[in-house]
């Protein structure tokens, strides 16, 4: 039986370049941070700029070398009181988009709770279309959570 090839650094570099080449009418990407760690893992941060508004967001990417997935994330910030009262509903809303919600490593500052929503894309079927769908799903989830008046 033929053993499946595990993704390596060249795969991660090719996919990173594919993200930078992503052509969409509403977004532009520029690389802010690009780290290949000594153990081979890749951590990248892209600035996503929206062509039709002055908004921008940071898209976090993580890819453990040898694993078959990328993890993409966007940040969310909540008032600490709202987080304490609504964290279960916020988590439920994110789960409806098949998105994981984690407390950010930055933790709590100035009465704010920093979180990050994550979604995975599998390397074997990664394409600009899959990336576009993953990014759109993350952005839709973030918008739905932040537009809910109970959470702001």
Which CATH number fits the domain that encloses residue 78?
3.30.1460.10
pLDDT of residue 152: 53
100 contacts 90 by C-beta, under 8 angstroms: no
Read off the pTM.
0.83
- What mean pLDDT is predicted for residues 113-135? 88
**Residue with token string 């933790």:** 107
41: in domain: yes
pLDDT of residue 124: 80
1: in domain: no
2: in domain: no
95: in domain: yes
> For the chain, how many structural domains are there in total?
1
Say which DSSP state 52 is in.
T
Q: What is the pLDDT of residues 8-24, one digit of tens each?
A: 788 888 888 888 887 66
140: in domain: yes
3: in domain: no
How many residues can be counted in the chain? Answer: 152
118: in domain: yes
pLDDT of residue 105: 59
Q: What is the pLDDT of residues 93-116, one digit of tens each?
A: 999 999 999 987 555 567 888 999
136: in domain: yes
> HSE-up of 44 (CA within 13 Å, CB side)?
23
Distances (CA, A) of 53 to 23, 124, 142: 17, 34, 17
Nearest CA to 18 out of 84, 63, 75 is that of 63
pLDDT of residue 21: 80
Q: Give CA 1 to chain center in angstroms.
A: 36
Q: Which residue has the higher pLDDT, 1 or 82?
A: 82
Q: What is the pLDDT of residues 15-68, one digit of tens each?
A: 888 888 876 666 788 889 988 887 778 899 999 887 777 788 999 999 887 788
pLDDT of residue 118: 95
Domain residue limits at 75: 9-151
């Amino acid at each position: 039986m033929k053993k499946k090839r595990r993704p390596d650094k060249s795969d991660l570099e090719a996919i990173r370049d594919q993200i930078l080449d992503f052509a969409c009418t509403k977004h532009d990407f520029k690389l802010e941070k690009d780290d290949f760690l000594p153990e081979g893992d890749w951590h990248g941060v892209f600035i996503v700029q929206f062509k039709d508004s002055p908004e921008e967001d940071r898209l976090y990417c993580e890819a453990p070398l040898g694993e078959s997935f990328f993890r993409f994330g966007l940040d969310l910030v909540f008032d600490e009181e709202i987080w304490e009262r609504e964290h279960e509903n916020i988590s439920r809303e994110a789960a409806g988009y098949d998105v994981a919600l984690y407390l950010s490593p930055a933790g709590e500052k100035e009465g704010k709770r920093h979180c990050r929503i994550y979604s995975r894309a599998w390397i074997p079927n990664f394409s600009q279309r899959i990336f576009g769908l993953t990014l759109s799903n993350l952005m839709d989830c973030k918008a739905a959570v932040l537009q809910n008046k109970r959470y702001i």
